[in-house]
Amino acid sequence: MPSKEALRLFAPVLAATLMPLNSTMVAVAVPDISSDFGHDPALVTQALVTSYLVGAVVLQSPAGKIGDRIGHGRMIVLGQLFLGAGALLGFMAPALAWLILARILMAAGSAALVPSTLALMRQVLAPERRGRAYGTFGALMALSAAVGPLVGGELVRLFGWQSVFAANLPVLVVAVALGSLTGSFTGAAAAGRGAPSRFDWVGTVLLAAGLTALIVGLRPGAAHELVLLVLGGGLLLLFALWERRIADPVIAFSLFRSLHFSAGAVLISVQNLVMYTLIFQVPLLGVALFDLNAEDTGRLLLSLTLAMMITSPIAGRLTDHLGPRRIGVAGSLVALLGLADLALTDLTSSSQLVIPLALLGVGVGLTTPPAQSASMTAASTEAAGMAAGIGSTMRYLGGIIGVAVMSRVLDVHASRTEVISDHHVLLVFFAGALVVGLGCAALLPARPVHKDEVLAGRHTSRSV
């Protein structure tokens, strides 16, 4: 039987799953939006996808910090309000500029929901139940991302592109209703102690500007690419220097002194780098090498996403019983095995990709719950939102970097031999990332985290 805390958490988890859904669902609506507003599809794609991606990445760390200050229950409510307002605006938008604003509002709402949902898991669940909770959450997020194009395609076909935005509203209504029935977290106080200091707006602006410049500069075909990358790096360096001077920073770099937090966060980032890049790379290979259509490549990717969704909850339970290190190392080794199998295929048939992709999905599914559990448990309850925001930001940045590298290496318009050669170069890059991940997995806690807490004499707060 699910615990009372688990039932209460289902409402924010349901709302949080809209983040990956909205990330992938809008892609199928781009042609119709372009036609209605008279804009080039490439421009619409850049505007709607980039605005959402930038908003989701740059706002998660500040949102997690704000949740630590005002309470994550209140942050969940704010996230639902922003997401609902953006969805309603997108449904009624008379021009592309309003759609861009709608996507930014939706990204802001999602950025508030995800770190606070993870922080609530850290704060209200017993230590011996966190692994399975993180595993289930990861599976639901993967499922949401996977079904996005399918759901979006049906909605656009039946009701028009506006329904892609409107579809968020009934989900939010259900989440709010469930929260009312099971008991929300809004009545609880923030986890911090004493009167809060002034919020670090300077650090927030530096972080947001630096990440925005970095993300836009990494995108294929970006104008003034080198300037943006240097600017982004410089702003992030200033951000790091500023944060060391602030009593209550947006990101406390002292968190990275914890080996378990750093190992878990980096492991999630490199695993997402490989997984997210393959989600883009496999369809390109499918067209270039096998002349597959979108439906065929979607089925091919199911071997990756389904394996990850099935494995993740199981890995969470195993983490609670066996400890993060064993499960994280096992997952990293399985992912490397899948990558080796992918490298050995001669790519004469698309069916050769099914088993390697499934092994990679199993590897990622095994690895994410122990990494998430270890990194979140390494942070105090007062810093749970900050820790979740940092982890979510690093997860997205891993995927962004991977896709940027792929776009510069893989030339799908070249000959078959050259495409396969580019593919193998990317596999070497992936192998390096997974080896780094294996090293991080070996640094995770050996014992189940609840046993470490008891041995250390820690008393985990069950209040938010």
Q: Where are the domains of the chain?
A: 1-186, 200-247, 255-457
Angle at 456 between CA 454 and CA 460, to 5 degrees: 60
Averages of pLDDT over each 10 residues, the chain, 464 residues: 67 89 82 84 77 86 88 90 94 90 93 90 81 84 81 86 92 88 60 64 91 82 80 92 87 89 94 86 84 76 86 90 93 96 90 92 93 88 87 86 85 88 93 96 85 45 36
Q: Which two tokens stand for residue 255?
A: 């968190």
| Three-class DSSP labels, the chain | CCCHHHHHHHHHHHHHCHHHHHHHHHHHHHHHHHHHHCCCHHHHHHHHHHHHHHHHHHHHHHHHHHHHHHCHHHHHHHHHHHHHHHHHHHHHCCCHHHHHHHHHHHHHHHHHHHHHHHHHHHHHCCHHHHHHHHHHHHHHHHHHHHHHHHHHHHHHHHHCCHHHHHCHHHHHHHHHHHHHHHCCCCCCCCCCCCCCCCCCHHHHHHHHHHHHHHHHHHCCCCCCHHHHHHHHHHHHHHHHHHHCCCCCCCCCHHHHHCHHHHHHHHHHHHHHHHHHHHHHHHHHHHHHHHCCCHHHHHHHHHHHHHHHHHHHHHHHHHHHHHCHHHHHHHHHHHHHHHHHHHHHCCCCCHHHHHHHHHHHHHHHHHHHHHHHHHHHHHCCHHHHHHHHHHHHHHHHHHHHHHHHHHHHHCCCCCCHHHHHHHHHHHHHHHHHHHHHHHHHHCCCCCCCHHHHHHHCCCCCCCCC
Our CA dihedral for 265, 14, 181, 122, rounded to 10 degrees, sits at -10
Q: Is 10 exposed, middle or buried (0-12, 13-18, 19+ CB in 10 A)?
A: middle
Check if CATH label 1.20.1250.20 holds for domain 255-457.
yes
Q: Residue 199's pLDDT is what?
A: 85
Contact criterion met (CB below 8 Å) for 268 and 452: no
Check if CATH label 1.10.10.10 holds for domain 1-186.
no
Residue of 40, 84, 270 whose CA lies nearest to 174: 84
Residue of 126, 147, 118, 120 whose CA lies nearest to 371: 118
> Same topology for domains 1-186 and 255-457, yes or no?
yes
Q: Residue 461's pLDDT is what?
A: 37
Q: Which two tokens stand for residue 363?
A: 């590897």
Angle at 417 between CA 412 and CA 419, to 5 degrees: 25
Q: Residue 462's pLDDT is what?
A: 36
Q: Residue 292's pLDDT is what?
A: 78
Residue of 263, 297, 279, 320 whose CA lies nearest to 131: 320
pLDDT in tens, 321-349: 899 999 999 999 999 999 999 999 988 88
Q: Residue 450's pLDDT is what?
A: 57
